[in-house]
A and B are shown apart, each in its own frame.
Chain A
Amino acid sequence: MQEKEMQTKPVLQVKGLKKYFEKKSMRGRVISSLKAVDDISFDVYPGESFGIVGESGCGKSTTAMMLSGLYSLTDGTITFNGVDISDFSNKAVKEERKKIQMVFQDPAASLNPRMKVRATLMEPFVIQGIKVDESKIDELLEIVGLSAAYKDRYPHELSGGQKQRIGVARALAMDPQVIILDEPTSALDVNVQAQIINLLEQIKEQKNLSYVLISHDLSVVKTVCRRVAVMYLGKIVEQGPVDEIFAAPKHPYTKALFSNIPVLDDEKREKIILEGDVPSPSKIPSGCRFHPRCWKAQEICKNEQPQMRDTGNGCCAACHFVEE
């Protein structure tokens, strides 16, 4: 099953993606550069959920903004259904991009407070110039598990979970192939989170969607995704099938990160407490970006950037000592 899926073409292909935020002087010289995302590559296959995890400042949200076309790329390519969509000033690319939609982190900010649910869900059709009647709105609401009576509500009359459902419905209205989920449940309670996760799973199966899930919550990623990339300071440090990586993380950062999640399970992993904080993306350490916090760090880590290496079972990690 897994092999068969791999043989199909990826729906979304990201190669060498970079985003530098540069502050320029009046003469156009670069004063300071912030490498938010620095050369990352991954593929997303049809019907798959791909997770990107990491701590704040690792570049996962910037990646989401670039995939959704809200940020321009500094370098690299994004290929969607075999078409290069990196340059979105192109009109044809703009059309193609509509098949990538997004569900946002803060449900309160993702809906216009002055628009009723009806107007919010009607908007995608209005923008595209498609005439639809009320029944389409009812249908969308039903898919996300809300009754048609919610049409006449304003966002402030809805709970956080309901707002997030409307956000999902709005994304679905564009009939997308890929939905980017940017921390869709981090503002919600556990119980509501469970409802939204189940809903997303059900919709994915119904509509054969692909998800790119951005999250800092590893247990959510584990539940939703099939493959995952772990990011640290703008780079992917480890990538592969979720089950493999969770069972045996190879990169020291992944190991530490996974051991740090508070879990309810009986078998508790031994905690690896990392020293210090995540460095600022404007002051990236030399060599391996993780070396100042790594307990395995040696001389080579300070000087040389480790390359991605295959670690078997479809996983790869970027560490000099990954074989050990």
Chain B
Amino acid sequence: MEGQNTTQELTVQQAPAQTKSKNTVWRQLRKNKLSFFGLLVIVFFLLLAVFGPWIAPYPEDAGSNTKIEERLQSPSTEHWFGTDDMGRDIFSRVVIGTRVSLLVGVVAIFITMCIGIPLGAIAGYYGGKLDECVMRITDVFLAFPYLILAMAIAVILKPGLYSAMVAISLTWWPYYTRLVRGQALSLRNQSFVHAAKMMGAKNSHIIFRHILPNCIGPIIVNASLDMGLIILATASLGFIGVGAQPPMAEWGLMISTGREFFMTAPWMTFFPGLAIFLTVLGFNLLGDGLRDILDPQSRPR
């Protein structure tokens, strides 16, 4: 056979018809019942957040409205979740409070990412002394329990919803820096980054075209898991009194004021608590599902 030397000419490989990718994120999410349930819960709360003032039967109760004659009523057809010590309708306040909690979550995550992701990408990609510096700073932040640090910052900033938001962001960014740095560290040694370097690509080009797009999956997963935690943290700050200030309809604050009446009017703490529980659960279930889909390496086999 060697003698014949029948060398085949190089033929152009024709592309077979492109099969529609069947495993889109959406389809996989649909298959995962728990995560899909989580998504439904989140969508439900999002709708509440957007249309809250129209859904709530007594929208005026969101503020410092007082109806002493109706105070501490147990749940009834008129007040589904009962009323609080000022006679305000708890159902309306829980519904309107959704907007506050979700807004805080989104804004805090956004600020967190704005600080954490660039720092992580730069630290991981450049490495060396710069990396050391950034990592030691994150270590300092991570050395404190995040709630205590957030409390301290919120107190310094003058208690209020906005300072709670800033405080949470300032304590949360190191997690994102670590996440992105780890990704960048492994990505910068991938062949496609080497190839870009050999073409003379600038570092900024490599970070924006090659490093960051490949970090998106884990970031989305973390963000969806953190949404729940941040809502919980906001509620905690509100509960201690360094977050949202009365008379704002904020879940943590509502639980805090309901504490005094826990034995006589448990609905005052129960329903805001249930709302927190459901949103946090929803984001966690969705985040778990997204992790399985977007970040398959971390899935336990």
Contacts and interface: CB of A to CB of B under 8 A. Distances in A.
Direct contact of A and B (CB under 8 A): yes
Interface of A: 68-70, 94-95, 97-98, 100-102, 104-106, 109-115, 120, 123-124, 127-128, 142, 145-147, 149-150, 152-153, 157, 162, 167, 170-171, 174, 195, 198-199, 202
B18 A145 contact: no
Contacts of B140: none
Given A112-B214, A149-B15, A102 B198 contact: yes
Given A105-B191, A106-B191, A127-B205, A146 B198 contact: no
B191 A198 contact: no
Contacts of B11: 145
Contact of B200 (A70, A128, A149, A153): A128
Contacts of B191: 104-106, 109-110
A283 to B, nearest CB: 25
A109 B194 CA distance: 10
A72 to B, nearest CB: 13
B200 A112 contact: no
Given A95-B200, A109-B190, A104 B195 contact: yes
A149 B195 CA distance: 24
Given A95-B200, A123-B209, A146 B12 contact: yes
B12 A147 contact: yes
B198 A112 contact: no
B198 A98 contact: yes
A145 B15 CA distance: 11
A111 B196 CA distance: 10
B13 A162 contact: yes
B80 interface: no
Given A109-B190, A115-B209, A150-B15, 17 more contacts: A68-B194, A97-B200, A110-B190, A111-B192, A112-B209, A112-B210, A114-B216, A115-B213, A127-B205, A145-B10, A145-B12, A145-B13, A150-B13, A152-B18, A170-B195, A174-B198, A202-B10
Interface residues of B, number: 27
A171 B214 CA distance: 22
Contacts of B14: 147, 149
A12 B191 CA distance: 23
B69 to A, nearest CB: 62
Nearest to B205: A127
Given A94-B200, A112-B213, A142 B195 contact: no
B137 interface: no
A100 B194 CA distance: 13
B194 A127 contact: no
Contacts of A171: 195
B199 A124 contact: yes
Nearest to B201: A127
B19 to A, nearest CB: 8
Nearest to B21: A157
Interface string B237-275: 000000000000000000000000000000000000000
B114 to A, nearest CB: 21
The 10 closest A-B CB pairs, nearest first, are: A149-B15, A104-B191, A110-B191, A114-B213, A112-B192, A109-B191, A127-B201, A127-B199, A147-B14, A124-B199
